Amino acid sequence: METVYADLVYLHTTEKLDFSLCRTFNLDEYIRLAPTDPNSYRCYMNDHLFKRVNIDLRIPTCRTAWQRISRRICLRYEALIRECNGIDLQLLGIGKSGHIGFNEPLSALLSRTRPKALTPVTIREK
């Protein structure tokens, strides 16, 4: 994905590709990590794309314990997506454990926004 992000930044800086009408709803974030933590997905995306283009950020921040993530928080995030008329394009990574966008193997195909335990393989990939 880093090559994709680098290409987008290149097009933004050289061809004036405009991201001002784009909104991003990141698929995942590690629970209890601050957005500035170098291990957070927010920090990764900031470094590779968000700080380098003009984009409207909508990223989940989960700085609470796993057990305290409420269904209400998850439903609110989904409501924000609906308010922006859904998602037109989703770029997903495939992990060594077979996860697609952090939907670990055996995740329900119709599952929605929720906390998810990661497999040891996925944790090591991080």
- What is the spatial distance between Cα 31 and Cα 61, in angstroms, rounded to a whole number? 8
Give all domains of the chain, ordered by start, each with its CATH number. Answer: 2-125 (3.40.50.1360)
pTM exceeds 0.85 = no
pLDDT at 32: 73
- pLDDT tens digits, residue range 94-110? 777 666 666 666 666 66
The least confident of 2-6, 14-18, 48-52, 58-62 is 58-62
Q: Is 43 exposed, middle or buried (0-12, 13-18, 19+ CB in 10 A)?
A: middle
